[in-house]
Amino acid sequence: MPRLELQYPNEPYSTVNRYGSTRARYDLETIHDIINKAPLLYVSFNDPSSPFPAVLPMIGQMGSFTHPSSDLGDVLDLYLHSYVSSRIINLCRTAPSSSSQGTEKGLPLTIAASHLTGLVLALTPNSHSYNYRSAVLFGHATLVTVPEEKLYAMELITNSVVPSRWAQTRVPPNAAELQSTSVLRVSIANGSAKIRSGMPHDDRGDLKNDEVLDRVWTGVVPVSQTLGEPVAGPYNRVAEVPGYIIEYVREANEEGVRVAEEAMVEVKVE
């Protein structure tokens, strides 16, 4: 039997409105993939002591401590790495034990991630755009207090920097490192993704204007993140760059180029 595609529910706060019929995605696999491949996540929350909402760049990964072999299309939590005395950690410590609806506990968070894959250059300034992959998650954060789960999350996040990196370092972390590091588990309530792909879309009137068509170049400039050659640190004693690092750099660069090139082909939502 084909695998059932799980989707987040459509709620007013999570539904994509503009171009929702062509660019919105609600399946867990797409959304979790965008989150996991983002080097930085932008985490928003309300701080009662501030007149403005707070936004922090943080490192995080989707995962399941109880089912570590789960796929991206399964129900997962988001683990976020932070410092023990950071503002978001302190707010989580004092967050109510249940929400106003009485169904979820923890600090309400909104998490955003995006990947730029192309510069879309059109005939007019108003029709310029980007090709991109973006996702937003909504959930409630609580502190991870079980030591085994904390180590699971730290390994998960470390390996998101470079695969297999955790096992190639001095592990496990010592007592001081564990004490100074806090991990948040975000129970996801909802999420959505928005993806733009394809070439420029200009108005019919401009497409009939020969003077403009003959003068203005239109198309897409692919955009991808490039990882450079590894440079040894001042106290490094390992003569050769480990193969797993070289392999990751190569694969990441190849994938970035492939994704940017594929994004120039418009994908229709079925």
Residue spans of the domains in the chain: they are 20-262
**Distance (Å, rounded) from C-alpha 206 to C-alpha 212?**
7
Token couple for 156: 């998960």
Select from 191, 190, 187 the least CA-distant residue to 107: 187
**Distance (Å, rounded) from C-alpha 34 to C-alpha 21?**
19
**pLDDT < 50 stretches in the chain:** 1
Token couple for 187: 């129970």
Bridge partner residues of 137 (DSSP): 111, 191
**Distance (Å, rounded) from C-alpha 221 to C-alpha 219?**
7
CATH T-level fold of 20-262:
Pnp Oxidase; Chain A (2.30.110)
**Distance (Å, rounded) from C-alpha 99 to C-alpha 102?**
5
Do residues 80 and 36 make contact, with C-beta atoms less than 8 angstroms apart?
no
Select from 154, 153, 137 the least CA-distant residue to 34: 137
Select from 127, 122, 111 the least CA-distant residue to 62: 111
Would you mind telling me the total number of residues written for the chain in this entry?
270
**Distance (Å, rounded) from C-alpha 246 to C-alpha 228?**
10
Do residues 81 and 58 make contact, with C-beta atoms less than 8 angstroms apart?
yes
**pLDDT for the residue numbered 95:** 87
For 159-183, b where at least 16 C-beta lie within 10 A, e where not — what string? ebebeebbeeeeeebeeeebeeebb
If residue 180 lies in a helix (H) or strand (E), which one and from where to where?
A: helix 175-180
**pLDDT for the residue numbered 96:** 78
Token couple for 145: 């207090």
If residue 62 lies in a helix (H) or strand (E), which one and from where to where?
A: strand 54-63
Token couple for 119: 């510069």
**Distance (Å, rounded) from C-alpha 41 to C-alpha 205?**
40
Backbone angles phi, psi at 217, to 5 degrees: -75, 135
**pLDDT for the residue numbered 1:** 47
Do residues 43 and 58 make contact, with C-beta atoms less than 8 angstroms apart?
yes
**pLDDT for the residue numbered 241:** 98
CA angle 225, 30, 243 (to 5 degrees): 45
